[in-house]
Structure formats: structure tokens, C-alpha cells
Structure 1
């Protein structure tokens, strides 16, 4: 793996923010899939909106899985920028752990969703457990980015907003 410059490429930044937007959509509208599956199990009709959102949840989950695979390949080929110098080692360890957990969740959640859709329980229960994990991890990630931007002022957030030149 090669190290990149001090920041991320435009492609890495685009993949990050597209993935983030798709995950946010899933978190906000994913319950429609549960509504659709439960209605099908009970032989009940489902609204057109829930049907559309349930279908979108399925396809966006596949898109997230594909984008994460692309991100991982890009990371293996191009590397990632070194952490900003000067921070305590525990912050760098926490950053590596949280990024690793993000990749694990971003890969496992769509796979578990497919298992839930095609196989059923217990996969749907396990898939559903990832929602609160994502919410906590995203919250910590966003707070850490804001902490770096406004408290430490080390340019960490800027690296994910503007490509390395």
C-alpha cells in the first residue's frame, strides 16, 4: 500500500460523501423495508410510498456495498494519507479503530440485509442491530471531525472537503 499526500483525492472524497448520503437515506427511510416485509408476511397491502422506499432501501444497500468495495480497492491501490502530525497516539488509534468499524459495518450491513431479505430471521434482527451502531459511530465521527476543526485546528476536516493537489 502506498501513502498518498497530506489529503484525499477527489475520488476518495466523492466516494466518502456519496456513501455518507446513501447511509443517511438508509437510516432515515429504512423502516419502510420492514413495513413491506411485515405486510407481505401478513398478506396485507402496503402503500405505494412504502413499496417505493422499501425497493429503494434494497437497491441503495447494494450500491453502498459496491461503493465500499471500490473504496477498499482504491485504498489498497492508492493508500490513504498519513494522519495529521502532533495528535496524541490514542487519537490515532481511535481513528484507525473507528474507520475499521465503519468499513466492517458498511460491508456487513448490506450483506446481512440481503440475508434478511432472502432467508429471514435471525438475519433481519442482526441487520437491524446495525442501525444504532451506525448512529453512534456517525455521531462520534462527526463530533471528532468538528473537534479537530474547531478545537485542535489541525486541518483534518479540510482533508475530506477539498482534494489534495
Structure 2
């Protein structure tokens, strides 16, 4: 008899939260990279704080890309639990679509950022457009998780907080 997974593995959960923390760092401190690039184009000096944050933005972007690739590989190898059966069908479709968009953004944003860094515009402008998309998607994701936890009470949030088999 085959066991059905009810939650994610410890590694999948850890990667989820590490990637989330890295993305939030990028959203809050990513403007320093713009400051550094603009200063370099203008031949102007940049503060040591902006230089450090710009460098961090670069390396955290590369780290995020690597961790997302690992997470996708783990998903292919280990799978993922079935979505909760509560709620209307459109919610499962929306969840699948939003997760797909997350993975797409998590892969393309660092790649486009690298293109922006090494090639320049229009890649920098395209890279910047992803920030508001991430903000909206993260907000919807968080509200949906809380809705599942406190309204539907279907255990969806628990699956990203504690490992299941």
C-alpha cells in the first residue's frame, strides 16, 4: 500500500523559507544596485553602504537562482503533496497558476538581472518590472495561506511549517 504525502519534506520547507527570506531582502534592499549602476554610468562615487548592498543584491540573486533550481529538482524527484480539497475548483486553479508564476519569476528575475548587470538596458528596466509583480504575488500568497489556515482550516499552511510524510 502506497502512502500519500500530506506535507513537504524538511528540505523543501527549509528551501521555501530561505528563498522567501532572500527574495524579501532583494525587495527591500535592491534599490542599492540601481544606485551603484547609475553611479558607475555617471562616474560618480557611491557610498560604502550602497556598494555593499549592491554586491549583496548580486550574490543573493545568484544564490536564489541556484536554490530555486535545487527546489525544482527536489519537486521533480520527491513530488509535492496534493492540494487541499476544500474550497471551490477555481482556488486550486489559482493556486497552481500562482505557484507556476512564482517559479517563473524566481528563475527569470535573477537571469534578467544578470543580463542587466552585464549588458545593460533594456534588461535593467525589465528586471525592475518584476518587483511590483513579486509584491502583489507575495501578498496574495500570504493572504491565501492565512485564509486556508483561519477560514477553511484545511491544514494548507501547516504543510509549509512542519514536515509531513
Deviation at 1:4, TM superposition (A): 5.8
Task: Count matched residues.
Answer: 163
Unaligned 5+ segments in structure 1 are: none
For 2:163, the equivalent position in structure 1 comes to 163
Distance 1:86 1:139 in 2: 21
Give the conservation status (yes or no) of the 8 Å contact 1:6–1:164: yes
Give the conservation status (yes or no) of the 8 Å contact 2:86–2:152: no
Distance 2:50 2:4 in 1: 43
For 2:62, the equivalent position in structure 1 comes to 62
> Aligned runs of 1:36-47 on 2, under 5 Å?
36-47=36-47
The structure-2 alpha-carbon separation of the partners of 1:39 and 1:50, relative to structure 1 and needing over 3 Å to count, comes to same
For 1:18, the equivalent position in structure 2 comes to 18
**Aligned structure 1 segments of 4 or more residues deviating by more than 6 angstroms:** none
CA RMSD of aligned residues (A): 1.0
Alignment of 1:101 onto 2:101 = yes
Give the conservation status (yes or no) of the 8 Å contact 1:4–1:80: no
Give the conservation status (yes or no) of the 8 Å contact 2:32–2:51: yes
Distance 2:57 2:147 in 1: 32
Distance 1:19 1:163 in 2: 17
Deviation at 1:86, TM superposition (A): 2.8
Deviation at 1:48, TM superposition (A): 0.3
For 1:148, the equivalent position in structure 2 comes to 148
Deviation digits for residues 138-159 of structure 1 (CA, Å, limit 9, x no counterpart) = 0000000000011111110010
Alignment of 1:81 onto 2:81 = yes
- Partner secondary structure for residue 135 of structure 1: helix
For 1:92, the equivalent position in structure 2 comes to 92
Deviation at 1:129, TM superposition (A): 0.1
Deviation at 1:87, TM superposition (A): 2.3
TM, length-normalised to structure 2: 0.97
The structure-2 alpha-carbon separation of the partners of 1:137 and 1:144, relative to structure 1 and needing over 3 Å to count, comes to same
- Partner secondary structure for residue 81 of structure 1: coil
Q: Which moved more, 1:76-85 or 1:107-116?
A: 76-85
> Aligned runs of 1:111-150 on 2, under 5 Å?
111-150=111-150
